[in-house]
């Protein structure tokens, strides 16, 4: 390029950069090269270049101004910093640190307290562009409380970029319940990325109050912590199992599944149920039933726990499970000296397993005064031929209640023979109430044999009418079961 007069040349080149926004990159590069080669080009007199719209111009100016190492230029740039676009401010703030990093704190002490938002905003750029922005936490404490939400939010993002710094972490944790949902979201996202035990308490305080997305972030973080810090989490989950909001109950269940020591979880859960209101117990058990299959391996030892409440709770949790690891402790309970109702619970669980040895154990108790009803019911639902044979022997029992229990067991039995036995009993039993009960069972089965049901019901009504007539004639008398009272 031809040389011009020195003053005219530099001046015209600068004016061309200032005015020609459509200049090609090639022409711009050539002009900048000439400016850089001219000893009369003074970067300190052309600070406007650091905020030029073209990146090449800004890069040129930054390089030459940084080389001057003049703190006075930093003061000038600070005056120009407010009001610029975010990207320009970041570049200028970085340059200011290179020129006068030691005096930035002096400027910040005034800027963070300025009444002008753009100056406080520029202060954040100065802080964030420092290679060691954590050195300015005292100023960030001021902007963290800024009345302008955007400044407070941006401060939150800066602090969230290093939650390993204890001061940053504590500042953020103190604001996790902030009124500003954006601030809460930034903090939750930061804590969720790098979960540590200290977030357990604030997360549980917020988890029921946040939106679905934030809940998801917290659950993911707590799940990771559950595998390492089980003690910090488990007891906080138990009340959530009975929460009125289904999503909160689902969260508790999901987190409980992540616990490595599931036997401990179950034991604490079952202890938790002691003394709580019935509706809390029912809702909690309902929630835990959803993961009962995941907890099965933890149940057998608890079935034999020294605490009766734990044993009973474990049996409730085992309901519906077909894990054969439950068989030994259940048989031990069934054949123990436990209270009858606990042994009956064991019988109800044993019916799930159609093994001959279990059928035999149930049959052994069919005449036991404490367990006969439970054994009869279990044999019917177990559905084995051997069990059916044992049930048939009890149809001649003198106790009508036992015979009704056998009929109910027959109705649960899958064989056609069992249904036929109910029909025969409806025709021939000596007790009209037993007959009527058999008819009710047949109708409940909805077999579609309306003619048979009508016939049995007519016979039942006829027998009842005949007895009433005989009683009216004096042919029947009331007899007390205790002969001394007759």
What pLDDT does residue 4 have?
42
What pLDDT does residue 464 have?
65
What pLDDT does residue 262 have?
81
- Give the span between the Cα atoms of 346 and 334, in whole angstroms: 6
What pLDDT does residue 69 have?
84
DSSP annotation of 113 reads T
Element (H, E) at 406: helix 400-412
- Give the span between the Cα atoms of 253 and 122, in whole angstroms: 47
Phi and psi torsions of 118, nearest 5°: -65, -30
Burial category of 145 from C-beta neighbours within 10 Å (exposed 0-12, middle 13-18, buried 19 and up):
exposed
CA-nearest of 2, 87, 4 to 50 is: 87
Give the position of tokens 């047949």. 442
CA-nearest of 385, 379, 355 to 366 is: 379
SS3 at position 78:
helix
DSSP for 198-260, written as a single string: GGHHHHHHHTTTS-HHHHHHHHHHHHHHHTT-HHHHHHHHHHHTT-SSHHHHHHHHHHHHT-S
Q: What distance lies between CA 245 and its chain's CA centroid?
A: 12
- Give the span between the Cα atoms of 268 and 427, in whole angstroms: 54
Helix then strand then coil, in percent of the chain rounded to 5, is 75, 0, 25
For 65, other C-beta atoms within 10 Å of its C-beta total: 23
What pLDDT does residue 15 have?
87
DSSP annotation of 151 reads H
Cα–Cα distances in angstroms (integers) from residue 265 to residues 126, 218, 219, 226, 294, in the given order: 50, 20, 18, 11, 12
CA-nearest of 312, 310, 315, 311 to 296 is: 315
The two three-digit tokens of residue 377, written as one number: 């019911």
- Give the span between the Cα atoms of 26 and 31, in whole angstroms: 9
pTM above 0.85, yes or no: no
Each residue's pLDDT tens digit in the chain (486 positions)?
A: 444 444 458 888 888 888 866 788 898 999 899 898 888 888 889 999 999 989 999 999 999 999 888 888 988 898 889 989 989 999 999 999 988 878 889 899 999 999 999 999 999 999 999 989 999 999 999 999 999 999 999 999 999 999 999 999 999 999 999 999 999 999 999 999 999 999 999 999 999 899 999 999 999 999 888 888 787 788 788 888 888 888 888 888 888 888 888 888 888 888 888 777 888 888 888 888 777 677 778 889 999 999 988 898 888 888 878 889 999 999 999 999 999 999 999 999 999 998 999 999 999 999 999 999 999 999 999 999 999 999 999 999 999 999 999 999 999 998 999 989 988 898 888 888 888 888 888 888 765 576 666 666 777 676 666 666 666 666 555 454 444 444
Phi and psi torsions of 96, nearest 5°: -60, -40
DSSP annotation of 21 reads T
In contact, 93 and 128? CB cutoff 8 Å: yes
CA-nearest of 256, 343, 242 to 287 is: 242
């Amino acid at each position: 390029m031809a040389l011009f007069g020195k003053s005219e040349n530099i001046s015209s080149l600068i004016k061309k950069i200032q005015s020609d926004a459509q200049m090609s990159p090639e022409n711009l590069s050539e002009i900048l090269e000439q400016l850089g080669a001219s000893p009369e080009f003074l970067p300190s007199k052309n600070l406007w270049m650091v905020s030029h719209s073209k990146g090449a111009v800004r890069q040129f100016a930054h390089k030459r101004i940084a080389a001057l190492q003049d703190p006075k230029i930093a003061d000038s740039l600070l005056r120009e910093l407010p009001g610029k676009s975010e990207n320009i401010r970041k570049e200028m703030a970085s340059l200011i640190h290179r020129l006068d990093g030691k005096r930035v704190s002096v400027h910040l002490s005034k800027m963070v307290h300025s009444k002008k938002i753009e100056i406080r905003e520029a202060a954040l750029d100065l802080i964030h562009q420092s290679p060691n922005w954590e050195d300015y936490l005292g100023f960030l404490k001021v902007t963290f409380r800024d009345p302008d939400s955007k400044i407070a939010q941006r401060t939150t993002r800066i602090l969230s970029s290093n939650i390993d710094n204890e001061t940053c972490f504590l500042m953020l944790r103190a604001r996790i319940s902030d009124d500003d949902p954006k601030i809460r979201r930034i903090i939750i996202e930061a804590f969720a990325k790098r979960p540590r035990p200290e977030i357990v308490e604030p997360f549980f305080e917020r988890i029921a109050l946040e939106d679905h997305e934030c809940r998801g972030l917290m659950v993911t973080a707590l799940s990771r912590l559950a595998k390492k810090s089980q003690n910090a989490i488990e007891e906080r989950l138990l009340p959530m199992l009975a929460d009125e909001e289904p999503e909160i109950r689902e969260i508790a269940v999901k987190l409980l599944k992540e616990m490595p020591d599931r036997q401990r979880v179950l034991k604490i859960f079952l202890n938790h149920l002691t003394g709580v209101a019935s509706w809390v117990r029912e809702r909690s058990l309902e929630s835990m039933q959803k993961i009962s299959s995941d907890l099965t391996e933890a149940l057998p030892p608890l079935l034999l726990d020294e605490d009766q409440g734990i044993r009973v709770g474990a049996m409730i949790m085992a309901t519906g499970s077909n894990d054969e690891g439950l068989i030994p402790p259940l048989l031990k309970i069934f054949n123990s000296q436990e209270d009858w109702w606990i042994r009956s619970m064991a019988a109800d669980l044993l019916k799930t397993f159609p093994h001959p040895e279990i059928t035999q154990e149930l049959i052994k108790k069919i005449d036991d005064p404490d367990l006969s009803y439970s054994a009869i019911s279990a044999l019917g639902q177990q559905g084995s031929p051997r069990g059916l044979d044992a049930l048939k022997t009890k149809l001649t029992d003198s106790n009508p209640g036992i015979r009704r229990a056998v009929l109910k067991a027959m109705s649960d039995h899958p064989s056609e023979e069992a249904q036929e036995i109910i029909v025969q009993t409806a025709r021939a039993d000596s007790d009209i109430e037993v007959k009527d009960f058999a008819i009710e069972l047949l109708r409940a089965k909805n077999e579609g044999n309306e003619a048979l049901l009508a016939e049995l019901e007519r016979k039942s009504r006829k027998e009842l009418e005949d007895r009433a007539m005989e009683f009216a004639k004096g042919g029947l008398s009331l007899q007390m079961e205790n002969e001394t009272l007759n």
